[in-house]
Structure 1
Amino acid sequence: MTDPTPAMNTSGTLRRFIAPLALAQFICSFAGSNLNVMINDISEDLDTTVQGVQVAITIFLLVMAALMIPGGKLTDRYGRKRCLLTGLVVYGVGALLSAAAPGLGVLILGNSILEGVGTALLIPPVYILTTLLFTDTTSRARAFGIIMALGGIGAAAGPLIGGLITSAIGWRAAFVFQALVIVVIIALSRQIEDPLPPDPTRPFDIVGTVLSAVGLVLVVTGILAADDNGWLMLALLALGALFLTAFFGWVRARERTGKESLLSTSLFRNRTSNLGLITQNTQWLVLMGVSFTVASYLQVVRGYDAIQTGVIFTAATLGILTSSLAAARLAKRHAQRTLILTGFIATIAGIAVLTLVVGGSPSPWAFAPGLLLIGLGLGLMLTPSVNIVQSSFAEDQQGEISGLSRSVSNLGSSVGTAVAGTILVAGLTSHAYAAAMITLAAVGLIGLTAAAVLPRHPPHTPASTSRQGTPKPASDQ
């Protein structure tokens, strides 16, 4: 297949095609963070417990973990635009069902199951379509910059927006807000053209889907159990590792017989992509870990409410927005590796500033410098990390790598919350919040190391390959 028309990369076309994709990422990131500030309101209104609402949040994470890779693979069979629209509809129905929920069971069905399934269906097409529609480094960086900016804003500003809606109207209105945004996205998505025709003849690996889904669910459950029961955590992680080992054994067996599997092992033979995935995982781990730690500190120690907490987080939101939207200009002047390295250095420095300044000042303004620096650092590197991973493979493997990429990022988010939560709950030191931040900074050093060994100039992968056989990923010279 030939590359998309050059007009596809003009600024007008960028606005027309990127708006629904960026809004889709925003609403999914928003949904993942805003429910935390509504837990008390929901538990009182539905006559349930805080733990019950937390179960709903956990199930949402598990559904996404189980279905993100299969969701990416389905785009090859049914088409990227069709999967995007289907995911949006399922998500919208879930949001409306959640808004009308008479009890916890219906909330779990709407928010945890339907919104989780919808997210797993619509997020992989966002990244695949962006990679396929924008073919040169500058336009792709600009597009991913907008998407990651909206995603970062959704995650960082979710508590503020959710808190404002909940305080002004009620928690149900927050789900109505999600449904309204979904309607807008569906209307805008009609302009999107799928660059690749779907291939209904492509087989779907059901056994591989079950093995990977069970394995990932067990791993995420183990991570989330870290702050409750250490032995249960270890047992779940070990069991999850067994299922994932069986999954990779199944994949290798299918590949040896020439059959298509859910996830090609060739994805893991690309050194550039592997390092990029490590940076992605670390970025989201640090982002969600810092958000959880700071939000807990503000509400538990400082006694701030959800709106006050959200206002303080505005500094991080502005940082993410500023650096993400500058992605295209920065990509023209600097190598992707340089941007990722700089982003990690800024983020780690921001954590240090936040920990030192807040500890010595009772003023809420003391949070601003550190959070702004963290936001600038994360926004600076989120886009090039995604771009490096997606650009490492030709179009026939975009479904697989997109699902894997999003799964790795979601895993990082879960680990970040679990690591921070475990340290805070354990209370091994009187300075538990500082200990959590220092730990997250240490984890950031892992991402910094991975970024340091990225190739300075990743090899270019052709825009298209034959559908006959397994496409060959770009080699790392």
Structure 2
Amino acid sequence: MQDTTSIRARSAARRMLAPLALAQFICSYAGSNMNVMINDMSEDLGTSVQGIQVAITLFLLVMAALMIPASKLTDRFGRKRMFIAGLAVYGVGALTSAIAPNLGVLIIGNSILEGVGTAMLIPPVYILTTLHFHDIRERARAFGLISALGGVGAAAGPLIGGIITSVIDWRAAFVFQALVIVVILILARNVVDPVAADPTRSFDLGGAVLSAIGLIALVLGILALDNVLWLAIALLVGGAAVLAWFIFRSARLERAGREPLVSPTLFRNRASNTGLLTQVLQWMLLMGVSFTVAAYLQVARGYNAIETGIIFTAATLGLLVSSLAAGRLVRRFAQRTLVIVGFLLTSAGIAALIWIVEALPGAWAFAPGLLGIGLGLGLGLTPSVNIVQSAFPEQRQGEISGVSRAFSNLGSSLGTAVAGTILVAGLVEASRSYALAIGVLGVLGLVGALLGLRLPKAETERAGSSAN
């Protein structure tokens, strides 16, 4: 009887993965597909390229400001309820963007509503996965599927967006997002929240404001790196100072017996801290390589959006294969090993993007390097997420999920900013800027491999066993 109940529970958990993984796909897709629609959107809306870039930047800022507070609110309102509400807000935002007559309405739909929706729905994806899959290997397989669709969404976003824009219209790309949201809402009937909501749970409003200000300043500073260096430094220093005050205030609240937005004890776990840093580097590499190669292909090689997206298919394939294989690989290898090998494979792929691309003129010269990068990132991202989420018991999943997603978003912003700064800084002649930007990312891959050596060798079978 117990075996039958266990089998039914595992089957229900697996059915629940479809809407959760699709949610991660569409949010990752939305973060990259607009890059190939900027010219069409600016002409149609009567604005400039800079105007569309402002909308994209505001989307990142809204996510950065709300990811941690929204994650904490899942304890108060329930994980499934926040997931459904986030999907609804996101869907309204996508439809608003699709019918936008001007830049202002686009900002309301894409930057604000889709940003708020993303911040609401993404933390429950990781919390619910952690709560439903207790065995570390089953959890790795689940996170492998989520990471695979997230990586595919980010890597294939320019291709899908480029095809829809070229064949139909840029507005249809937002309609596509809304249709996917409808599918997820239908599938979300299978989502079950195993932990009851606690409406009496306190919420640290002051901490939410401080964390939002600090994270917004950090993201703005990162994005300003390739424009105004002094402003970028001021924002980064200011953001770090605000976050330091946020941590100090949180510790003081905790000593007074009150519940802060994020407990400072969350950062006393070595495995989680190291895992968070590896996530930052992984998303830096993914978005940095994507930006650098896409810019080089379109500016230096003259490829259009669809051709550029097709070339990135090699990275998409690599991410899909290695992420889906993560569950089986965890049964044979330690997660620490997979993270280290993933970074090394990514650095090898980056090296190939320099040497093979310089030696061969054709588009196929990019395939080996992009495939290696996709395989490496897919191999390491799943265990990194699993290590972080599994380091804490279920009552702390709301905190760690928001922090984890905030770190990933910072990594994405930092990767694009660093690569973009090197490309436009004029440190070397224009023909060598690509190699320099890619080379710096390759060094970061090696740093990630060294960082992986700090991860614990022992695996934990139950969430939270290492945290307490």
| 1:341 aligned onto 2:347 | no
1:272-326 CA-to-partner distances (Å, cap 9, x unmatched) read: 0001001111000010000000000000000000000000000000000000111
1:409 aligned partner, one-letter code:
S
1:247-286 CA-to-partner distances (Å, cap 9, x unmatched) read: 1121011011010000011110000000100111100001
Equivalent in the alignment of 1:389: 388
1:93-145 CA-to-partner distances (Å, cap 9, x unmatched) read: 00000000000000000000000000000000000000001111221111111
5+ residue gaps in structure 2?
none
| 1:274 aligned onto 2:267 | no
What's the offset of the Cα at 1:243?
1.1
Whether the aligned pair in 2 keeps the contact of 1:320 and 1:375 (CA below 8 Å) is yes
Provide the rounded CA distance (Å) in 2 between the counterparts of 1:240 and 1:275: 22
Whether the aligned pair in 2 keeps the contact of 1:393 and 1:461 (CA below 8 Å) is no
Whether the aligned pair in 2 keeps the contact of 1:267 and 1:473 (CA below 8 Å) is no
Provide the rounded CA distance (Å) in 2 between the counterparts of 1:248 and 1:474: 19
Q: Identify if the C-alpha distance between structure 1 residues 345 and 90 changes in structure 2 by more than 3 Å, giving closer, same or farther.
A: same
Equivalent in the alignment of 1:6: 6
What's the offset of the Cα at 1:8?
5.6
Provide the rounded CA distance (Å) in 2 between the counterparts of 1:194 and 1:246: 34
Equivalent in the alignment of 1:452: 453
Equivalent in the alignment of 1:107: 106
2:434 aligned partner, one-letter code:
Y
Provide the rounded CA distance (Å) in 1 between the counterparts of 2:233 and 2:65: 19
Structure 1 residues 60-75: aligned runs within 5 Å: 60-75=59-74
Equivalent in the alignment of 2:151: 152
Provide the rounded CA distance (Å) in 2 between the counterparts of 1:272 and 1:292: 30
Whether the aligned pair in 2 keeps the contact of 1:8 and 1:134 (CA below 8 Å) is no
Provide the rounded CA distance (Å) in 2 between the counterparts of 1:6 and 1:389: 25
Provide the rounded CA distance (Å) in 1 between the counterparts of 2:246 and 2:425: 34
Provide the rounded CA distance (Å) in 1 between the counterparts of 2:466 and 2:79: 21
Larger CA deviation: 235-244 vs 201-210: 235-244
Equivalent in the alignment of 1:225: 224
Equivalent in the alignment of 1:467: none
Q: Identify if the C-alpha distance between structure 1 residues 8 and 208 changes in structure 2 by more than 3 Å, giving closer, same or farther.
A: farther
Provide the rounded CA distance (Å) in 1 between the counterparts of 2:63 and 2:176: 21
Identity, % of aligned pairs? 66
1:289 aligned partner, one-letter code:
G
1:331 aligned partner, one-letter code:
V
5+ residue gaps in structure 1?
464-471
Provide the rounded CA distance (Å) in 2 between the counterparts of 1:275 and 1:15: 29
What's the offset of the Cα at 1:462?
5.0
1:165-209 CA-to-partner distances (Å, cap 9, x unmatched) read: 000110000000000000100110111110000001110000000
- 1:226 aligned counterpart, secondary structure: helix
2:375 aligned partner, one-letter code:
L
Structure 1 residues 185-264: aligned runs within 5 Å: 185-264=184-263
- 1:203 aligned counterpart, secondary structure: coil
Q: Which has the higher helix share?
A: 2
What's the offset of the Cα at 1:7?
2.8
Equivalent in the alignment of 1:322: 321
1:156 aligned partner, one-letter code:
A
- 2:239 aligned counterpart, secondary structure: helix
1:402 aligned partner, one-letter code:
S
RMSD: 1.3
Report the TM-score, using the length of structure 1 for normalisation: 0.95
Equivalent in the alignment of 1:180: 179
Equivalent in the alignment of 1:474: 467
2:7 aligned partner, one-letter code:
A
Whether the aligned pair in 1 keeps the contact of 2:134 and 2:461 (CA below 8 Å) is no
- 1:302 aligned counterpart, secondary structure: coil
What's the offset of the Cα at 1:397?
0.3
1:374-410 CA-to-partner distances (Å, cap 9, x unmatched) read: 0000000110000000000000000000000000000
Whether the aligned pair in 2 keeps the contact of 1:65 and 1:410 (CA below 8 Å) is yes
Provide the rounded CA distance (Å) in 2 between the counterparts of 1:245 and 1:60: 24
Q: Identify if the C-alpha distance between structure 1 residues 416 and 5 changes in structure 2 by more than 3 Å, giving closer, same or farther.
A: farther
2:260 aligned partner, one-letter code:
S
What's the offset of the Cα at 1:9?
5.8
